[in-house]
Chains A and B, each alone.
Chain A
Amino acid sequence: MITISVLVISVSMIFMITMIDICLYGRSVWDTLVYIFDIDFGTKEYYVIFGYLVSFVFTVRTDLSRRKEQRSEQSS
């Protein structure tokens, strides 16, 4: 549930900033996505994406361990 919630919010935020860009500058959806995520290899934007991915991995881990605990409580 935590993983799904974080994923939904992440996708929603990307959609939101895309829509704001489209409303302001009148570009197409694809052009806006390319403009926002124009990440070249070697640029520092990878730092923030890497940070988010690491925290996401830990979130998945937390979610799985919570579900394990809930299942063991239910079975006992």
Chain B
Amino acid sequence: MRTDFVEKISLSQFFLMIVIFQLGTAIVIGLGQSAKQDAWISVGIATIYGVLLIFAYCFMLSLLPGKGFYELLKIAYGSLLSRILSYFYVLYFLYIAARVTRDFCELLTTAIYPKTPIEIISLSLALMCCYFLYQGIEVIGRSTEILFPYSAAFLILLVIFLFINRSFHSENLRPVLEFGWGPVFQAVFPSMLGFPFGEIVALTTVMVAVTRQDYLTKVGISAVAAAGTILMIFTMINVSVLGVDMIDRVEFPLLSTIRDISIAKFIERLDALVVFVMMLGIWLKVCVFLFAALKGMESITLIPYRNFVFPIGLLVSSISVFIAANFAEHIEEGLVAVPLYLHIPFQIGIPLVTTVILLIKVRRRKGEKKHEGLDNVVQSEN
């Protein structure tokens, strides 16, 4: 096995990873539909929450620079309890990776390959992600940097085509706040807390690989803000093109929006552009979640994570087939069980408690070092 892998990513790669990670499935599945024409306001509020969340994660990592997420758990909770927590985090990240894989399979079987079994799509994605993970996080960062311009170009093209096609109907966005702030906040809490902004917790395992740690917070905040803005814009686009009634009924709003494009009966069926954007996002999400889980296994077993890549990757592929019998069940799990019982404890609860414990320990250590320093000065004077 090669031992000369480099595990460093640049700030620009980190920025793009966050943007694509956030856009991933959210841009196609749509957010805040229960808020109807005010969905874009819900996304804006969720973006503010996302910015605060990444600030909190960067603050937690800055308490002990150079230490990764699992190392911080070890320092905060001790060896045994940190292994138990790491074990639960591994299960959580693998489950979310399986859910994201299932989203991908459902999209492809709906949009492009209706006769292809989801098992084949799931296996193909898993094998590809396993190969990237085996090569290391630097390869993933570089690939993100190379593929992002295509994704951005396709999204801009889609907006231009929608504009030329005169698909926008601004009256669909009115009246603003027709039912007040209630539905807007109900759309945010608790489902949008966990998806997509809360999933940044997986990126805490990647943050330690960033070269310039002193700019981590600024780059993280700007990346989340950029991703949130893009999501807000596309939410507005979906509502203005499809209308409130249609958005509730379609599985993939952006896909339905794009199908509206027909310019001179020549430029039509641009589904492939949307599928490319989603494929890139899902590939990155699965890679990051798998990486986070594998790093957890490395911290528990003290065996390099590359030994686990293929069996765990193919386990995720199998689990993605078994987690739900159909898409409706898959969505129901994601709306009912996952936000309350998984997202909130793992994204907010445990990191918050960890930050508090680390703050106390770091301040205590600084206090002890001050006393030691004073003792040394007193001794030298004597």
Write the residues of chain A forming the contact surface with B, with a CB cutoff of 8 angstroms. 1-2, 5-6, 9-10, 12-14, 16-17, 20, 23-24, 35-37, 44-45, 47-49, 51-52, 54-56, 58-59, 62, 66
Contacts and interface: CB of A to CB of B under 8 A. Distances in A.
A14 B308 CA distance: 18
B123 A51 contact: yes
Contact of B337 (A20, A54, A58): A20
Interface in B16-38: none
A17 B321 CA distance: 11
B123 A47 contact: yes
Contact of A5 (B301, B317, B323, B336): B301
Contacts of B308: 2, 5-6, 59
B120 A47 contact: yes
A44 B90 contact: no
A62 B307 contact: yes
Which of A5, A17, A36 neighbours the largest number of chain B CB atoms within 10 Å of its CB?
A: A5
Interface string B190-211: 0000000000000000000000
Contacts of A36: 322
Given A51-B314, A59-B310, A13 B321 contact: no
Interface string B362-381: 00000000000000000000
Interface in B83-120: 87, 90-91, 94-95, 98, 117, 119-120
Contacts of A12: 87, 91
Given A9-B94, A13-B95, A44-B119, A51 B317 contact: yes
Interface string B235-278: 00000000000000000000000000000000000000000000
B300 interface: yes
Which of A9, A12, A20, A58 neighbours the largest number of chain B CB atoms within 10 Å of its CB?
A: A9
B58 interface: no
B308 to A, nearest CB: 7
Q: Is the interface of A mostly helix, strand, loop or mixed?
A: helix
B333 interface: yes
27 contacts: A1-B301, A1-B303, A2-B301, A2-B308, A6-B312, A6-B315, A9-B91, A13-B94, A16-B95, A17-B95, A17-B319, A20-B323, A23-B341, A24-B336, A24-B337, A35-B325, A37-B322, A45-B322, A47-B119, A47-B120, A48-B119, A48-B317, A48-B318, A49-B318, A51-B123, A51-B127, A51-B314
B312 to A, nearest CB: 7
A37 B323 CA distance: 10
Interface string B296-330: 01001101000110111111011101110100000
B171 interface: no
B332 interface: yes
A1 B91 CA distance: 18
Given A13-B315, A17-B95, A51-B126, 16 more contacts: A1-B301, A5-B297, A9-B90, A9-B91, A13-B319, A20-B337, A44-B117, A47-B117, A47-B119, A48-B122, A48-B314, A48-B317, A52-B317, A52-B318, A58-B311, A66-B307
